[in-house]
Structure 1
Amino acid sequence: MHVTVFGANGQTGHEIVKQLLQRGHTMTAAVRRPSTVQPLDGVTVCKIDLSDQPSVLATVQGSDAVISALGSGALRSARKKTSLYSDSARAIRAAMRQLDVKKLIVLSSSGVDEEENAPFFYNCIIRRFLMNTYIDMARMETILSESDDLEWTSVRLSYLVECGSKPYKVYDTSIDSSTFRIGFKDAANFVANEVKERKCMRKMATIAYP
């Protein structure tokens, strides 16, 4: 299977690329700065401009599935108003429809919906700090929910941490009881499996350690 990964140079995106390669897939790594992507066999690096629809179309051409691991970068950037998630969802969806590509996975956040059981520090400080990002992620998920012609999945990541792989749980909606954490490797593992298995098709699936 050939997969296009938007945002392949981020920490999660890079890990997704590695795990897809381990499963025998080939890839197009779509990034704004190709020099930031480590050359790997089986991966074609493509410079992408999301405001230029023909370049998005060319990037998706020949794909069996598309993954958007796009993000706003550092925490300070994530605080600002953004339309990255909703704009990219529209651009990618338009290209997929034109090329009749069906499988789409996007990275979102469990912070899109307020969780009463989340730690006080998160709900009262972190979530408010990142509210602009969460608002646009919600716009992105609305675009997906209106796309019945696509086999989409929104992967709502909890707090990302650097750690070894360990068992995690997939929640269809809210998190009832968890650490509100997920490792980069386990997040990528779920995405790489979902490309083929499609267990959470047309769902906003939250993953976290129990």
Structure 2
Amino acid sequence: MNIVLYGASGMIGSRVLTELVQRGHKVTAVVRDPSRVPSGSAVTVVKGDMTDAADVAAKLKGADAVISAYSPGAGTESLLLSATHALINGARQAGVKRVLVVGGAGSLFVAPGISLIDSGHLPEEYKAIAIAHADALDILRNAASDLEWTYLSPAAFIQPGERTGTFRLGTDSLLADAQGNSRISAEDYAIALVDELEHPQHIRQRFTAAY
């Protein structure tokens, strides 16, 4: 497939890019700084603005799907909402139905009606981006019913690690192991995301992956 990937230079996005290429997909990596992503026979790297719907639409022309791993910096978390609106409108203008979003874990439920954000266990420094991700999910649910969107929340802790291919999937509740740890490697997260791209199981839904 021809995939447009936003945020390909980030910790998660770079793993998603690797997974896509390994599976034979053609990728247009749209980033703020093209020098941070190596191009190749399967990867075209371009500079773009994900908060601009017209720019998004131009980048998505002819694509089969778009994946957003966009992550704003500290203090600019509200840009995620602008980017989500632009992604929806740009995909709509370009006629691209399939939209996959790298989401956050904060809106996952840890008890009935209580999200990780609400639980008091989320470190203060992560609250702003967690809330922005929760709001972005609400935008998809309320404003993208004509698109085939999927939002993938990671485990509570995601970091570079091993590509094992062994993990569990869930929907709206935080997944944890027998010791109460909720984690996944960025490499395995990328597997879950590209699996969903190739074999859709969560159209217009959020799902999660963890060990």
Normalised by the length of structure 2, the TM-score is 0.87
**Residue in 1 aligned with 2:201?**
199
Deviations 1:24-54 (A, max 9, x none): 1101101001111112221111101234333
2:140 aligns with one of 115, 124, 144: 144
Cα distance in 2 between the residues matched to 1:193 and 1:83? 29
Give the alignment of 1:43-192 within 5 angstroms. Answer: 43-73=43-73, 77=74, 80=75, 82-113=77-108, 115-116=110-111, 124=120, 126-146=122-142, 147-158=144-155, 159-166=157-164, 167-175=166-174, 177-178=176-177, 179-192=181-194
CA distance in 2: counterparts of 1:183 and 1:176, whole angstroms: 14
Question: Which runs of 5 or more residues in structure 2 are unaligned?
Answer: none
* Structure 1: distance between partners of 2:51 and 2:183: 33
| Distance (whole Å) between structure 2 residues aligned to residue 163 and residue 51 of structure 1 | 30
Task: Give the AA of the match of 2:19.
Answer: Q
1: CA distance, partners of 2:149 / 2:53: 20
Q: Secondary structure at the match of 2:89?
A: helix
Instruction: Give the Å deviation of 1:116.
Output: 4.8
Look up the SS of the partner of 1:62 in the other structure. coil
8 Å Cα contact 1:170-1:207 kept in structure 2:
yes
Task: Provide the C-alpha distance between the structure 1 equivalents of 2:207 and 2:47, rounded to a whole number of angstroms.
Answer: 29
- How many aligned positions are there? 202
CA distance in 1 between counterparts of 2:198 and 2:100 reads 11
Which protein is richer in helix relative to its size? 1
What percentage of aligned pairs have identical amino acids? 31
Which segments of 5 or more consecutive residues in structure 1 lack a partner in the other structure? none
Shift of 1:125: 5.5
Q: Is the 8 A contact 1:6 1:68 kept in 2?
A: yes
Greater CA deviation, 180-189 or 132-141? 132-141
1:51–1:154: structure 2 CA closer, same or farther, 3 Å change rule? closer
CA distance in 2, matches of 1:131, 1:87: 18
Displacement of 1:161: 2.3
